[in-house]
Amino acid sequence: MKKKMLVIVNPISGVGRQKKIERLLNSNLNLDIYDYEVRYTEHIHHGTELARQGAMEGFDVITAVGGDGSVNDVIAGMHGSDATLGIIPCGSGNGLARCMKIPLTPAFAIRVLNQNNEGLIDTIILNEHYYIASIAGVGFDAYIARLMKAAKMRGFSAYLNLILREYPSYESKDYTLVIDGKEIRRKAWFTTFANSNQFGYNAAVAPQAKLDDGLIDISIVDKIPIEHLPVTGPLVYANHFELSQHVEMFKAHEVFVAGNVDKWVNIDGEGENVGNELHFVNHTRSLKILKRDMKRALISPQAAEQLQVVKEQLGMTRNQLLQKKK
């Protein structure tokens, strides 16, 4: 029996790769497995409404087409349902997709959906209201996420320009964290609470994070002097940020944070005004998701049919040869 898939498209995410999504679905999605419908978001957090409606309508798979913020919206709408999440990354950072090795080329991401390889990952819930699949943060990264939310331009260059512009003036702030019952006080430039290993763009600020280990990976980062950036920057992209003298890392099931004077939190790449007091809780293996099977090639349904024909022909040839030998 075919599965019903709802495809939710953010038409303004990232750098425009989502604009050809219907053509790509027609040519790459395996229609022997899925019947699908496409719906487009029209305003902020509309993806949550569409996903909630889709879950109520009985869609088996709800696929987010966009960046981490779009994925986050869909997850919030799916919460509490039996639907499975699919991802076609078309955003800027695409942190969750990169962590899961889902290709950033939409055609190949669609072929991951064809593998129909369902698994479970953790989610983090913030203040009993916000759902986090990838990463959240306070301090400088939340400040940049807030500015990006109002920016007209998207993409890595816009993100980098904001960082370079605001880096000199943003100072570390005092935070009190209660990590699984143990209180610590730190002055931090930013602090992240991670389920996946990265912000996006392959910037791995939580290199040991795993999506299904039941833990929140906490990275507390003091302001990095400009003269140390040539050393620290490569550590982030080499997946060894823990080696930096400017970072301290913890793992926990539950974290309370006081002192978030900016009130803003970076939630899966989007800035949200959450408040001074924060409460993060890991919900272990709470989200069904279509994962990539790294042992299987990503080929189109048409190519799969051709491959099957070739295999059958080769099998017939082998059998004919065996008959001749007898």
Helix, coil or strand: residue 279: strand
Does position 319 have pLDDT exceeding 80, yes or no?
Answer: no
Alpha carbon 323 to chain centroid distance?
54
Total number of domains in the chain: 2
Tell me, yes or no, whether 48 and 181 share the same domain: no
Tell me, yes or no, whether 235 and 136 share the same domain: yes
**How does pLDDT run across 153-211, given as a tens digit for each residue?**
777 888 889 999 999 999 999 999 999 999 999 999 999 999 999 988 899 999 999 99
Tell me, yes or no, whether 203 and 230 share the same domain: yes
Residue 151 domain-assigned (yes or no): yes
Residue 321 domain-assigned (yes or no): no
Q: Strand pairing partners for 35?
A: 4
Tell me, yes or no, whether 107 and 210 share the same domain: no
Range of the domain at 88: 3-117+291-307
Tell me, yes or no, whether 149 and 32 share the same domain: no
Tell me, yes or no, whether 111 and 45 share the same domain: yes
Does position 103 have pLDDT exceeding 80, yes or no?
Answer: yes
Residue 126 domain-assigned (yes or no): no
- Distance from C-alpha of 213 to C-alpha of 124, rounded to nearest angstrom: 12
Does position 225 have pLDDT exceeding 80, yes or no?
Answer: yes
The CATH number covering residue 257 comes to 2.60.200.40
The CATH number covering residue 24 comes to 3.40.50.10330
Helix, coil or strand: residue 250: strand
Tell me, yes or no, whether 148 and 276 share the same domain: yes
Does position 311 have pLDDT exceeding 70, yes or no?
Answer: no
pLDDT at 149: 82
pLDDT at 179: 98
Alpha carbon 164 to chain centroid distance?
24
